[in-house]
Structure 1
Amino acid sequence: MESPEHAAGFWGRVLVAVSACVLTVSIVGSAAFLWFRIQERRELRTRVQGFIASLENRTDAELADRAAQLRGKPKVAEYVLPEIRRALRASRSEDQLCAVIRLCEAFVDRREIETALFELRGDRREVVAGAAVDALAKVQPAERAAELLGQVLAGAASGETVPAGVDSACAGLFRLGAAGRAEIEKRLESMTVDRRLWLVKYVNEVGGPYRESWLTLLGADTDAGVREAVARARVMPEPILSVRVPAPQGVGDDNQAHLASEARRPGDAGD
């Protein structure tokens, strides 16, 4: 008859062997699952990169539709947004970058997107800089958007913000109403006279519910030329100013800024 010790040893060895098999299967299964997940993520990233690359061929309506789809699929957006941020930092195509910025307008409430857009205020491709600052004007609440646009204006003197970014910041503050007026009031003294004259022209031409409030603010300017321009604007609502395009803060007259698109008129760029 087999001794109890011998039987216990046999079943112990069986248990060890079974445990080893189970552990091996578990390790192999985990490795296979991990490999599958890695491949799945690679394929997803490839598809997302293809999506980003195709944006420059989309219309504004199509971009808005894509943005709406992403907002409705938060899990998908989590994969797409890192690629969007990467494109904002590294894209060499101006058209693609502007399209990505347009898509970003749906996600400006996310701080990482806000930061990426803010960093583009100094992009030497002025169309890109202007588009990025335009997107920042859509940040909510309006007070936060005004604060960001004020910081954009603050970078003009040092060259951190290109002229098109300044144009878009001024236009964005005007659209923000009371929050924008409060911010521009803090920034007026640091602006050149040419820029303040441009503001009078812009406000007068765009008009709207905030026109009078801004003209009142600009009418108290320390420069007599700006005050006179405001007085003339109130008498004649149509564009009547003949001012040079405002030069960037701290830069000579030879380096002229671009007007915001809303204020461009034939012949305005000349003296």
Structure 2
Amino acid sequence: AQKQAYSVAGHIHGKASINNGYLGTSVLKLFDSTVATVGMNEKKLDMAGMKYNFVYIIPSDRVSLMPGVKPIHLKVLFHGVTGRILGAQAIGEGLVEKRIDVIATAMKFHAVIDDLKDLELAYAPHYGIPKDPVNIAGYVGGNVLSGELKQVPVTAVRDLVEANAFIIDVREENEHAQGRLLNAVNIPLTQFRDRLSDIPKDEDVYLHCRSGQRSYYMIRVLQSLGYDRVYNIAGGFLGICRYEYFKDVMEQRKAIVDRYG
């Protein structure tokens, strides 16, 4: 509305004004969480028939030693060929909106997903982490765009569980015991080198941890050992539980986790 009012005022006074369109950046408070968005979402991209890919990460909003640190669920959508950023959504109780503001600014200058990793953003333990969530999205997105990292969304996990796909939970045993996918095999990152014989090379293998970072580490090592059918479950167990809990409640369906994380 402010931009439109500025254009109208300029027109009244004979000042040329060009409307370059709108990204639709917005933010709202939802109970204790902040929800923010910019640009296109997956539903709109699907309707437009556009080829796209995504990053879904769940980093902390600040350094873990700081009081009140909270996770941020951040998804960035980008063109599947050029990497141009098409939209982003984020939710969390922490510092969510500033990450969307950064991405909105990058989009205004036609940034590609790889550009996000090079942004120099203000850092102090009270306000962020050394690699900001926006930077992390750039690193992960670059790997996805180049084909170095293969991934599946949390929306596909139920089908994998029901098809009895080979899913590895790379979290530690105590984490696995506190909540797990029903048919996931627990092979912690700290033990997997001694359990390589338990991981098949002749079928697709899907890995998850709490948020996606440890499973990524294991995937890169497995790739170096000749495993080329390994996929990261983007968003990890936290992302799976957030999606599945909502769908389970709304559709009254049987859970695929023994306890939501």
Normalised by the size of structure 2, how large is the TM-score?
0.28
Structure 1 or 2: more helix by fraction: 1
Which protein has greater RCO, CA pairs closer than 8 Å, 6+ apart? 2
Which has more strand, going by share of residues?
Answer: 2
Larger radius of gyration: 1
